[in-house]
Amino acid sequence: MEACVFDLDGVLVDSEPVWEQVRRAFVADHGGTWQPDTQSRLMGMSTGEWAAYLHELGVRLTPDEIAAGVVDQMAERYQDGVPLLPGAREAVRRLAGHFTLGLASSSPRRLIDVVLDASELREYFVTTVSTEEVARGKPAPDGYLEAARRLEIYPKDCVAVEDSSNGLRSAHAAGMRVIAVPHPGYPPDDDALALAWQILPDLDALTIEALT
């Protein structure tokens, strides 16, 4: 393995609860109806995709207005501090000494930059990709393929670190080996978890040896 490509939400940042709170309230405040499977469907979607989906739930705004409003609220929440997951900073620093690091995230570029700057992790990543910058969000492989292209490393020589069903499917479809670090509050589907090369309990277990 030459490179490790991280997901952001749910892997490095405990942001899925924040995303759910913000988007659920936004839908309710603007006339929409949150469905039982909404959160699981949203995980991995690009900004354009989830904004269009929330519009379909009955939100009385255009997708562009929905995206802008939700991202503004997420940025405000992050001003109170970025909720890094335990071991996130240490895992990134540990692997950066041995592998080329990239990031492939469904978050909009604005929030990726806020998180990496606030957590002082930007310097460790050779490239970062938002699915806003590719044609399709997860579970399509586009984000991971773009990260590999920018790193100039074949996908087969990359390990991806993911937590969600759509993220696992995306990295696997890109041809990368996938390490799953499931979030206890948002566990992936069994069929997606079966795609993982390794399943780790937490980021402390993400060691040099685990990738080699």
Active-site annotation holds for 37: no
Q: How far is CA 147 from CA 7, 88, 123, 129, 153, in A?
A: 11, 20, 16, 6, 9
d(CA 18, CA 39): 11
Catalytic residue among 7, 64, 157, 163: 7
> What's the full length of the chain, in residues?
212
**What distance lies between CA 118 and its chain's CA centroid?**
17
Q: What's the token pair of residue 27?
A: 């839908």
d(CA 212, CA 210): 6
Q: How far is CA 4 from CA 51, 112, 178, 198, 202, in A?
A: 29, 17, 10, 14, 16
Closest C-alpha to 197, from 169, 174, 211, 178: 178
Active-site annotation holds for 7: yes
Using CB atoms within 10 A of its CB, is residue 163 exposed (0-12), middle (13-18) or buried (19+)? buried
Give the bridge partners for 84, in sequence order. 13
d(CA 143, CA 9): 14
State the catalytic residues: 7, 9
